[in-house]
Homo-oligomer: A and B are copies of this chain.
Amino acid sequence: MASIKDVAAEAGVSVATVSRVLNDHPSVSADARTRVLAAVEALGYRPNAVARSLRTDQTRTLGLVISDVLNPYFTHLARSVEEEARALGYSVIIGNADERPDLQDHHVRTLLDRRIDGLLVSPTDGGSPLMLDAARSGTPMVFVDRWIAGVDVPVVRSDGRTAVHDLVAHLHGLGHRRLAIIAGPAATTTGRERVEAFRQALAAYGLPLPDSHIGQGDFQAESGRRAMERFLDLAEPPEAVFAADNLMALGALDAVRVRGLRVPDDIALAAFDDIPWFVHTDPPITAIAQPTGELGRAAVRALVDRIEGRPPESVTLPARLVARRSCGEPASAEPRALRKPPVLQEATASTEPSPATNRSQS
């Protein structure tokens, strides 16, 4: 592979001049420039990014550590992150933690070793020493979706509180009184918050949330399945179950089906996180939708602000309830306004209609 020396030799100039041409430095003669460019062309020369990074101490690369690539919510997030990063001249390296703190640490370490310019993370847990060190030692960092309390890192997330209240109102309106939740890990902010919001909303209706109606999940399908099985084994099973993420909802749906029962006839089901497939499941699933694409883009902007010395902004965007058919909604409840099928919007559009945003300084 041709190096800058080869180019310099071919063009009859010094490597310094070649470097200047390559970096658009103003003080290069037109003549030198054309000769260098010709040499670059002739040799098919491409600068070695590794060498450049070593010298400049920047990689123009962002690290993104997500909790689970197989979760469409995070896939969507990752995609929007990469798009925005590319628009700003950065590459992104994705690390998949698979909801495992050890794997998360592995990726953080690898990313740090590669000297990425900044780190975007959606932590799987309350923060390993490594993660905390990274945050404190000044590595530019931004939390997306989930965050860790007590560290001075901007957070870009969506607030599902209002939407959860809307959901409970919706369930109540449909006549459901015995409500249950399949929660995410208590070590994650989203795991805790969704249960809290649910509990508060129930309280507003004077409804109880007994421990037997809180299933402990880990955001993965299998745990949703187990939690739903336990609910169904109860002497008096819940009438409606709210799964704190889409994969647990899928597992729960499985559990219901395996018993030969039906959603929503035998039990209602709703999920946090809306994904294209929820339109097509049997029945279509009522869910709380986050502005995922906008979240990813805002996170990148915050991180790049931080990297480039501008004050980064924490951002909180609202989530919203999308009522479909899995809670026993009457046929008319299917949102006719969404006739343009969401799968296509989500899967092919690079920008969602941007929702009203609440921004708050970090």
Which residues in A have some Cβ–Cβ distance to B below 8 Å? 44, 46-51, 53-54, 59, 69-70, 72, 75-76, 78-79, 82, 86, 91, 93-94, 96, 106, 109-110, 112-115, 133, 220-222, 225, 247, 250-251, 253-254, 257-258, 276-277, 279-284, 339, 341, 343-344, 347-348
Known: A222-B344, A247-B347. 5 other contacts (CB 8 A): A69-B78, A69-B79, A221-B348, A250-B276, A254-B343
CB < 8 Å: which of B86, B109, B114, B341 contacts A254? B341
Partner of A114, one of B50, B79, B133, B283: B50
Evaluate contact between B258 and A341: CB separation under 8 angstroms.
Answer: yes
Complex: how many Å from CA A133 to CA B44? 10
List 25 A-B pairs, Cβ < 8 Å. A46-B112, A47-B113, A48-B54, A48-B115, A49-B113, A49-B114, A50-B50, A50-B54, A69-B78, A72-B72, A86-B106, A93-B93, A221-B276, A221-B343, A225-B344, A247-B347, A250-B343, A251-B343, A254-B341, A258-B339, A277-B280, A280-B281, A280-B282, A282-B283, A282-B284
Residues of B within 8 A of A69 (CB): 75, 78-79
Q: Which residue of B lies closest to A249 (CB)?
A: B280
The complex places the Cα of A114 from the Cα of B49 at a distance, in Å, of 5
Is A59 within 8 A of B50, CB to CB? Answer: yes
Given A96-B79, A250-B276, A277-B281: A50 and B115 interface contact (C-beta under 8 Å): yes
Q: Which of A113, A280, A281 has the most CB of B within 10 A?
A: A280
Nearest chain B CB to A1 CB, angstrom units: 8
A96–B114 CB distance below 8 A: no
For the complex, what is the distance from the CA of A112 to the CA of B343, rounded to whole Å? Answer: 34
**A contact patch SS:** helix
A223 to chain B: closest residue by CB: B348
Distance in angstroms between the alpha carbons of A110 and B48 in the assembled complex: 10
Q: With a CB–CB cut-off of 8 A, which chain B residues contact A47? A: 113
A257 to B334, CA, bound (A): 13
On whether the beta carbons of B109 and A46 are closer than 8 Å, the reply is yes
A282 to B254, CA, bound (A): 14
Q: Give complex CA distance A59, B78 in Å.
A: 23
Bound-complex Cα distance A194 to B153 (A) = 49
Enumerate chain B residues within 8 angstroms of A93, measured Cβ to Cβ.
91, 93
Task: Report the Cα distance A109→B49, complex, angstroms.
Answer: 11
Complex Cα spacing A280 to B247, Å? 12
**A356–chain B nearest beta-carbon distance, Å:** 26
User: What B residues does A133 contact at CB under 8 A?
Assistant: 44
Alpha-carbon separation in the docked complex, A10 to B196 (Å): 50
Contact at B113–A48, with CB atoms within 8 Å?
A: yes
CA distance A93 to B82 in the complex (A): 12
Q: How far is the CA of A49 from the CA of B114 in the complex (A)?
A: 5
- From the candidates B110, B250, B341, name the one contacting A225 in the complex (CB within 8 A): B341
Residues of B within 8 A of A48 (CB): 54, 113, 115
